[in-house]
Amino acid sequence: MTSYEELFSVGEDFESFVRHGLPAQISAVRDIQRKLTEADAISPATQQRMHAVEGAFHLLVAGEMWCPDCQINVTALDYLQRAQPNIDVAIISKGRAENELKARLGLERISIPLVLVLDNRFQVIGRFVERPQQVVAGGDAVKPDYRAGKYLESTVQDILTIMSLQTSPLG
């Protein structure tokens, strides 16, 4: 069985991942990136939480560029890793995740993006699946706003919440 650290090491960085997309998919990612640079995209409170992260975390992401949820949420994860140097991201394909993670995590299927939040020792401390919890709870009513990139902060908050659950972060 391949370790999480080995999977992370063979994963690709965000820009390499984006290059796999078709022009319209790449454009969608660039739109999300632009939204993340807007002054009100990420609240000061969430920015403070990002900067207060202690210890190293690795986000092992299973995703594909054709997936709209990946275009939105993996871009938000890239924003998070750029804002907080203690966090890094590596992306593997859905197929690799099916081969390497499905049985190990006891999943019937791999929904993407699947984000495993790993501590500095590459141990799983939590996971993010497909959409932020606020979007899941809001159902179809929030889907248009979600697709328009209005829940990017929720993605960042969900990941930060998982990280904060680690009781003794190690550097």
CATH of 4-164, one of 3.40.30.10, 3.90.420.10, 3.20.20.140, 3.10.450.50: 3.40.30.10
When pLDDT is averaged across residues 40-55 and rounded to a whole number, the result is: 93
pLDDT for 126 beyond 70? yes
pLDDT at 156: 97
- For 53-106, how does the pLDDT look when each residue is reduced to its tens digit (9 = 90+)? 988 999 999 999 999 999 999 999 999 999 999 999 999 999 999 999 999 999
- For 141-159, how does the pLDDT look when each residue is reduced to its tens digit (9 = 90+)? 999 999 999 999 999 999 9
Q: Where are the domains of the chain?
A: 4-164
Pair type for strands 124-129 and 114-118: antiparallel
29 close to 18: Cβ distance less than 8 angstroms = yes
Q: How far is residue 101's CA from residue 143's CA, in Å, rounded to a whole number?
A: 28
- For 1-32, how does the pLDDT look when each residue is reduced to its tens digit (9 = 90+)? 789 999 999 999 999 999 999 999 999 999 99
Q: What is the mean pLDDT of the chain?
A: 94
pLDDT at 132: 96
Cis amide linkage into residue 44, ω under 30° from 0: no
pLDDT band at 166 (very low <50, low <70, confident <90, very high): confident
Cα 27 from chain centre: 19
Q: 59 pairs with which residues across the strands?
A: 89, 117
pLDDT at 47: 94
pLDDT at 170: 42
Structure token pair of residue 70 = 């990946």
Residues ≥6 apart with Cβ < 8 Å to 100: 1, 2, 7, 92
pTM: 0.93
pLDDT at 171: 38
Q: What is the DSSP string of 64-116?
A: -TT-HHHHHHHHHHHHHHHH-TTEEEEEE-HHHHHHHTTTTTT-SS--SSEEE
Structure token pair of residue 79 = 């924003």
